[in-house]
Amino acid sequence: MAIFKAPIDDIKYLSNEFLDKSALQQIEEFSSVTPDLTDAIYEEAAKISETLLFPLNRSGDEQGCTLNNGVVTTPDGFKDAYVQVTEAGWGNLTCAQDFGGQGLPHYIANAVEEMIISSNMSFSIYIGLTIGAYNAIERFGSEQLKKAYLPHMVSGRWSGTMCLTEPQCGTDLGLIRSKAIPQEDGSYRISGSKIFISAGEQDLSENIIHLVLARTPDAPAGIKGISLFLVPKINSHEDGSLAEPNGVICSAIEHKMGIKASATCAMEFENSNGYLIGELNKGMKAMFIMMNSARIHVGIQGLAVAHAAYCGAVDYAKERLQGRALTGAKQPDTPADPLIVHPDVRRMLLTMKAYTEGARALSMWLSFQLDVSYQANDPTVKQNASELVSLLTPVFKAFLTDIGEIVTSTGIQVYGGHGYIRENGMEQYLRDARICQIYEGTNGVQALDLVGRKLTEHMGRNLRHFFHPVSEFLQQHQHDAALAGFILPLAKSFSRLQNATLFIAQKGLSNPDEAGAAASDYLRLFGLVAMAYMWAKIAHNIHYKKGQMPDEFYDGKLITGLFYMQRLLPQTGALLSAIMSGSQTTMSLKENQF
């Protein structure tokens, strides 16, 4: 049976030793965020994840959600767990204290989020979507809406969703048909159908606050005519007590491959009361706040489910006796040696470990850059961090969710036939991980966003915020013998990324299909280099800074990092070759030849 152990030591190391937090040292709100405080937060989150949420993971998958007369019932134990998690404040770590939140940095909250997702991905979705809705309302909502809705969402008493997709449109939101009819009191009447709405209906919270994309009757066509509206499931009085239902109906729930304990709903809005968020016809600007938050959240999902699979695979490889080591028996007193003695099993486990720990470092580092983009005192530092986060968000979402699929599939392989058997728990991770590559913008869409928008934004300025630090790091350590095993592979792969970027910039101007055909390979190349940069920075940190972890921890880090550099990073060579081959073979086949 699969087991779960929160990566508490790795998170503490990254938080306390790896991150350079100097950019936020003068921020008053964070002055009380000491290692003692963060360690206590991480340890308690680990306990909640291991003892409360993980035991509900498989049973939730087996039971799933049910729909009866418009009411969704979540699996046994979920409601009690939701009360415990929200009452303890685990869903509002980054929310403003003015609304009852804790006002903590994102790098802390996202580390906690990883542990919660690892233990029970379906459960985590109910919490995570509320934070995304909170972010959009907090930034674009009127003061009246903030006061009326945010305290209840922060407490967990009310939850939130995002309602974008309709039967006729997914990525192409310009095709939205939902209508918003203005009323004399300034509100709107919302009517329309939405599908694939995660947590659109559930029995965990008293009320559900839907953020809905819709059009007013005189709105411009296409994407320029979309507005964002707050639509509660149940109307409320001024004191926050609930009033009458608001014409929001769950008409169906999807029967899915994975995340079965998360209700994915078809929603009908029937003349429902709605309230404008942000400016009229500027709904996508507000929704992108929620979507970008969600894309980082989904990237963390990829990392988290990968870690869960790694926990199970390592435990099984150490316990399962099968065959003898190629160099002679390692446990002669037993009928066979454990799986972990075999080189190919070690290759799989190290692949899982190197991807997962590299992804966690990238997550912690990018989450801190998000904090800098919100909180830094220096406007230039703030802007630079914002542009770096914008550049890396599609890379983070797509690359980490691809890793989630690779690692969970590899975990099944470590188990062999037993991994294919449902009772052992490993196949659930692969089923759960697979959605991460699809929702919040498919990974192909993320790749197009990277090459089509992020590379060209501000005349290519976004790229400098990643390329320049990597170049400076390589130049500073090019003759450092202690780091040679990390610096040389990073330099080679970074050169490939630079060449690929130049190729796409030049070819894409004359033929957009060139950029489109290269996009997914380019994003993967970018992700591999970004992770290599993390591993090189970890190696530098371990070699030159005295830390608090045991020597065995640091030795394991360095060996794992070298495995990444030697066995996984060389993929960048093949990716560059594929990119440079151009779009001809991709685009020349006629439709009737498929």
- What's the CA gap between 473 and 533, in Å, rounded? 9
- DSSP-derived secondary structure for 548-587: SS-HHHHHHHHHHHHHIIIIITTHHHHHHHHHHT-SHHHH
The CA-based diameter of the chain, rounded to the nearest angstrom, is 84
Q: Which of 440, 422, 418 is nearest to 431 (CA)?
A: 422
**Per-residue tokens: 142:** 């009127």
Helices (H) and strands (E) in the chain, counts: 18, 11
- Return the residue matching tokens 């936020």: 24
Q: 66 pairs with which residues across the strands?
A: 73
Helix (H) or strand (E) holding 287: helix 283-319
Amino acid identity, position 466:
F
- What CA–CA distance (Å, rounded) separates 341 from 360? 26
CA distances from 285 to 139, 177, 394, 447, 566 (A): 11, 18, 17, 20, 42
Pick the catalytic residue from 50, 357, 427, 440.
440
Paired strand residues for 231: 210
Residues paired with 213 in a beta bridge: 228
Residue 443 makes CB contacts below 8 A (sequence gap 6+) with 397, 398, 401, 402, 437, 520, 523
Q: Which residues pair with 77 in a beta bridge?
A: none
Q: Is 440 a catalytic site residue?
A: yes
Which residues lie below 8 Å from residue 416, measured CB to CB, with a gap of 6+?
none
Distance CA 159, CA 199 (A): 9
Q: What tokens appear for 396 in the block?
A: 């983070």
Chain position carrying tokens 């305290």 = 151
Alpha helices (H) in 416-550, listed in sequence order: 426-434, 443-449, 461-477, 484-510, 512-544
What distance, in Å, lies between the first and last C-alpha atoms of the chain? 43
CB-based contacts of 138, cutoff 8 Å, min separation 6: 95, 96, 99, 146, 150
Q: Nearest to residue 265, comparing CAs of 189, 208, 216, 215?
A: 208
Amino acid at 146: K
Residue 8 amino acid letter: I
CB of 283 closer than 8 Å to CB of 220: no
H-helix or E-strand spanning residue 343? helix 343-375
Q: Which of 16, 8, 77, 14 is nearest to 43 (CA)?
A: 8
Q: Which residues are catalytic?
A: 440
